[in-house]
Amino acid sequence: MKDYTAPLRDMRFILREIAPLEEVNQLPGCGDVTPEVADAILVEAGKFASSVLSPLNPVGDREGARWHDGEVHTATGWREAYAGFIESGWNALSCDAEHGGQGAPRLVSALVEEIWNGANVSFTLCPMLTHGAIEALELSGSAEQKAVYLPKLVSGEWAGTMVLTEPQAGSDLAAVRTRAVPKGDGTYLLEGQKIFITYGEHDLAGNIVHLVLARTPDAPPGVKGISLFVVPKFLVRADGSLGERNDVRCVSLEHKLGIHASPTAVLAFGDRGGAVGWLVGQENRGIEYMFIMMNAARYAVGLQGIGLCELAYQQALWYARERVQGSELGSKSREGVAIVRHPDVRRMLMLMKSQTEAARAVAAVAAAAMDTARCHPDADRRATSQAFVDLMIPIVKGWSTELSIDVASLGIQVHGGMGYIEETGAAQIFRDARITTIYEGTTGIQAADLMGRKVARDGGAAIGRVVSEMRQVEAQLAAEGSPDLSAIAARLRDGIAALEAAVGFVLSTYGKDVRRASVGAVPFLMLFGTVAGGWQMARSALAAHRHVAAGRGDGFLRAKIATARFYADHVLVRATGLSQEVVDGAEGALSIEDEHL
């Protein structure tokens, strides 16, 4: 496998043209990370990713995490890499300065996280889960819990987890049975088994802080009776030092298709009398608090998808430039050429490149909106930005991860038979990508959330504002008089019309026949993602064209225009078919009898 290289040129373009960091810098509390500082951060992140994390990626895939008598040992080099990661301050990059963080804008930290994921997604899962725990405790924890846990979690000395589901529950958290019995001294004893716990046990950090969903004895049934508890692997003494081992044990590790180096644990709580835990916030509000972690994690998983797209593209492009096979079509010479010269290989590479750049731009625009929603002095502006963030998180998570599977599959295809051989590394990317559409809520769950909560519930107000912005870009493209931009504008116009037709169907149908509307939920998500990607690629082409027209053009900017044109001609054109799936696709799915499926 070729080592990963951070796509710094494209990230700089995004920070300058698509999600301008200079605008984020105007927000209160966001001025310290200037474009110059951000560039230095990205450069250093790229160095760490390519020199430390990327070489460990195939090592972790081969060795995996190893379980022995309740203890978990990570792959060769993992502990040293993690120590270097936290010593360099990377874990604290986006965290609040009050608890030892650096307070970088989400726009910058999101691009850095993409770099980590491109280099080594299995490694990056550990700090990702820690950040989810940090966010939950920041918003819902007591003053004492914040003082005890946040400084160590922010530094990375301690790691965090999300301990949610159980064997009988899956995605239905209403079925959670783990019990939490109050002792009368402010603590609870937890008993139950949890599954699919990413980095639930490992040897990287001195302590692991589990955030656990459980039920108190008098809790009402269903999701209304679930509470959230903080349960550390090692109990913490009054002076902050680590005490005795808590009654939490790793029973086993899952044997998985991919992300082998990330330990996915089965955890047993209370086998020896009860795991000591403390209530986070109020009883029976655990699902509410869990969604704080979940939304952060869903966006972060979308960044995993984008990082994997970039890695697959880099690997395929390198191979296509190196592999000589066949003569060039249309040439009189019979001399062999690199397969990058073959039209179909170029088509596949451009599908990989254009969709990766589109997904990166969409995620960056969402991250900038997160900064606005958090820091803007005007309450209405904060609310509007948060509505946009809420709308886009299912897209960043669902669409970007679905792309990662498609892009990784194309990467194997570019390699031909060698892509199916493990030693090239193309197969690992595909295997690692496959989980991203499943954990933290499947694509179907993201799509149901998008259609029901984010579109139907508000009468299409938030998505209507996005469509209005898309139409403004379309008009700007058409006004430039460039053949490429005019072609992109025409495709974008058709894509917007397809999206509007689907939104109209959702608004008219969801309340009357939710099953009929929901058949098209995933196509609706993919439609919105495809058109949102086209919107951002159109903005990229417009910015690049204006620089070229002003005499400031170079190969990168001309490639931006060409890539946006390709996306419009090969990807955006799919919007019409996806819209038809949403509007007309229910009959075949619902009319067939169950026994004939």
Helices (DSSP H) in 51-185: which residue ranges? Answer: 54-63, 78-87, 106-119, 121-140, 143-155
Q: Count how many Cα atoms sit within 13 Å of the Cα of residue 104 in the half-sphere of its side chain.
A: 23
Both tokens assigned to 7: 């796509």
Angle subtended at Cα 264 by Cα 435 and Cα 367, rounded to the nearest 5 degrees: 55
Shortest CA distance to 190 belongs to which of 168, 161, 170, 210?
210
Instruction: Report how far residue 297's alpha carbon sits from residue 183's, in angstroms, rounded to the nearest whole number.
Output: 32
Distance separating alpha carbons of residues 133 and 291, to the nearest angstrom: 11
Structure tokens at 557: 């900017």
Q: Give the relative orientation of helices 426-433 and 400-415 as an angle to the nearest 10 degrees.
A: 160
Q: CB–CB of 502/582 below 8 Å?
A: yes
DSSP string, 286-300: HHHHHHHHHHHHHHH
Q: Which long-range contacts (CB under 8 A, 24 or more apart) does 21-28 make?
A: 21/105, 21/107, 21/108, 23/368, 24/105, 24/107, 24/368, 24/371, 24/372, 27/105, 27/371, 27/372, 27/375, 27/376, 28/375, 28/377
* 161-174: b (≥16 Cβ within 10 Å) or e: bbbbbbeebeeebe
440 among known catalytic residues: yes
Task: Out of 114, 440, 474, 581, pick the active-site residue.
Answer: 440
Q: Let me know: does 585 contact 515? Beta carbons within 8 Å.
A: no
Q: Which residue numbers are catalytic? A: 440
